[in-house]
Structure 1
Amino acid sequence: MNDPLLFLGFTTTPLELVSFLLALITVALNIRQNHWAWLFSIVSSALYAIVFFGARLYGDMSLQFVFVAVSVWGWYQWLHGGVAHQALKVSRLSDSGWGISVIAWLAGFVAIALFLKSFTDTDVPYMDGFLTAGSLLGQLLLSRKKLENWYVWIVVDLLYIGLYVYKNLMLTAVLYAVFVAMAAIGLRAWKKTLADAAQAEAVAASSRA
C-alpha cells in the first residue's frame, strides 16, 4: 500500500489516496449533520495514522488514535447527547467556553510540543504540537455540535497545508485546502441551522402568546 503512484499530477500512495477519499466523505457528511460521518472518520483516522508514521509526524499519528476514540464518543453524542438523550442539536459556545477552549489549545500545544521535542525524532515539534492540540479541540467541539468547531478547523487546516507541503505529502496538502473550503461551507450551513431553529422557536412562542 506504500508503492508511489501518480494521482491528479501528485505523487502519493494507495494508502494516502484511500485516506484522502474517506476524509472527504467524512467532512461532507459532517456538514450535513449525518451521524454516519463518524464511521468514515474512524476508518480514515486509522489509515492516516499509518501515513503520518511514515512521514515522522508523530503528533499527528497519535492524534489519529485519539480521533478514533473521540469519533466513537462523538457518534454517541450526535445520536443521544441532546436533551433527554435525544439527537444533539447545533449550539454555540458560551464566553466561558471560548476561554476554556483557548486555554486548552495553548496548554495542549505546550505539552505535546515538549513531548515531541524530547522523545521523538520529528523535525517539526512545535508546528506538529500546535496543530495536534488544535485538531483535538476541533474534534471535541464537533462531537458536541458546537458551531465554533468550524472556526477552529479553518485555522488548523490552513496551517496544515504548509506543513504537509513541507513534508512532501502533496495530496494531503490538497485535501486540507479542500477542507478549508468545506469548513467554510459547514460554518455557513450550521449558522443557517441555528437561524432556522431560532425562527421556529420565535414562531412557536408567538403562537403560545
Structure 2
Amino acid sequence: MIEYLFSPYESYSWTDILLEVLGVAFGLLSVIFSKKNNVLVYPTGMISTAIFVCLLFKFGLLGDMMINAYYFIISIYGWYIWTLKVDPIHVTPITYTTKKEHKISVLIFLASIVFVTIVYHVFDKWTSWTAYVDTITTAIFFVGMWLMAKRKVENWLYWIVGDLISVPLYFYKGLTLTAIQYLIFTIIAYFGYRAWIRYQNNSVIKA
C-alpha cells in the first residue's frame, strides 16, 4: 500500500517534493493556528498557498490553484479583519453566520462554479472527472475562506466537506503528501469547529 501511494514520487523532481513538503508543513501550521483563533493563520497560510500555486499549475489542477491564489489575496483581508478593533480593547469577535451572510455564501458558491468552469473551458482542461470535482471543491473552499476571514463559526463546516472530497482527489492525482495533509485538515477542522463554538459561547457569556 505504501509503495502504491508513494510510487508517483519516483517521477517527481526533488524540487517538487521539497516544495510539497514545505507547503504541507506551513499548511498544517496555518490550520492549527486557525483552530487556536490565532492571527498567525494568515502569514503561515500565505507561504503555503504561494508554494501550492506553483505546484498545482504544474499538475493541471487549475481550480485548486485558484483556491490558493484566492486564499493568498483574501488572507490580506482576513488579516485586517482579525486585527481590527471593534473597541479600544477587543478585536473582531467570532460569531455565527447571519441570514444575509448565508445568502452571500450561496452567491459566492455559484459564482465560483461559473468562474472555474469558464477557466477550464478557456484552458481546455475538461479532460478528466477530476476537473468536475475540482470545480466543486473550489466553490466550497471559496465560501469557507470568506467565512473564515469574517470569523464565522460555520467556516469550519465548509472546510470539513471540502477536505473530505480533496483526500481521494489528491491520492488519485499522485500527490500523496497533499492528500494526507487534507485528511489531517479534516480532523483539525472538526476540532476547530468545536473550539470556535466554545469561543463564541464564552464571548456571549462574558458580554
Counterpart of 1:83?
A: 86
- Which letter does structure 1 place at the counterpart of 2:158? V
Matches within 5 A, 1:1-209: 10=6, 12=9, 13-80=17-84, 82-84=85-87, 86-121=90-125, 123=127, 124-201=130-207
- Which letter does structure 2 place at the counterpart of 1:175? Q
- Deviation larger for 64-73 or 169-178: 64-73
Runs of 4+ with deviation above 6 angstroms: none
Is the 1:20–1:175 contact (alpha carbons within 8 Å) kept by the matching residues of 2? yes
Secondary structure of 1:83's aligned partner:
coil
Secondary structure of 1:146's aligned partner:
coil
- Which letter does structure 1 place at the counterpart of 2:147? L
1:96-146 residue CA offsets vs partner (Å, 9 max, x unmatched): 322331232123113312321342435333221211121111111111100
Give, in whole Å, the separation in 2 of the partners of 1:143 and 1:54.
Answer: 28
- Deviation larger for 54-63 or 166-175: 54-63
Is the 1:58–1:122 contact (alpha carbons within 8 Å) kept by the matching residues of 2? no
RMSD: 2.0
- Which letter does structure 2 place at the counterpart of 1:131? T
1:172-193 residue CA offsets vs partner (Å, 9 max, x unmatched): 1110010000000100000001
Q: Percent identity?
A: 29
Is the 2:141–2:162 contact (alpha carbons within 8 Å) kept by the matching residues of 1? yes
Give, in whole Å, the separation in 2 of the partners of 1:153 and 1:189.
Answer: 14
Once the two structures are TM-superposed, the CA of residue 95 in structure 1 deviates from its matched residue by 2.3
Secondary structure of 1:15's aligned partner:
helix
